[in-house]
Amino acid sequence: MSTLFDAILTADVSDEQSKLSAEAAGLVWGELRDSSMKVWSRQGFADLLKGDEDKFMEQKYASFPESKKKDGTWKYRKFNYVDTAGQRQTGGLPPAWSSSKSVINRAYDENVQVVYDMSKTQVEALTKAAVLEKEPQATDWEKLEGVIRTAKRIYEKLSLSDQDRARIQYSNFLGE
């Protein structure tokens, strides 16, 4: 068998694993989304998840002291540790879990109601819209001022010959 054929087989396995990974991430999202509808607050959601998250961390990382904070609680987010084979690893809750949990927590923060059958992308879009709605939008004048300040900072870093070139090229920029 050729090494190219082996590479094709490896790519095929990788593609299948990617499909399974995407399906698994979708299942994780669905479970967390549905669970979030049982509570009314971010803290309630955290309390609901804590027992199972602790159980996962205990099963997977109990023998690695790096998995706990100084106060003895689990480091749910990424942490580095050395496994039993002496290899450096990164631990924590699985990325699909952490990502989905983060989207739901942000929805709580922005008072976006997560309902049955909403996709993760839909919740992210609604949350982003809620944030933008709260933020004052810059006027065209404010945008222009920002662009000019940025251009001035860049201009000042140019060599003298490039500054001369810029002055010549952009002297009529504003119709002067």
Q: Residues 81-115: pLDDT tens digits?
A: 999 999 999 999 999 999 999 999 999 999 999 99
Residue 88 pLDDT: 95
Residue 1 pLDDT: 53
The partner residues of 124 in beta bridges, in order of sequence, read none
Q: Residues 11-60: pLDDT tens digits?
A: 777 888 888 888 999 999 999 999 999 999 999 999 999 999 999 999 99
Percent of the chain with pLDDT over 90: 66
The b/e string for 35-70 (b: 16+ C-beta within 10 A; e otherwise) is: ebeeeeeeeebeeebeeebeebbeeebeebeebeee
Q: Are 90 and 79 in contact (CB under 8 A)?
A: yes
Identify the three-state secondary structure at position 89. Answer: strand
SS (H, E, C) 27-85: HHHHHHHHHHCCCCCHHHHHHHHHHHHHHHHHHHHCCCHHHECCCCCECCCCEEEECCC
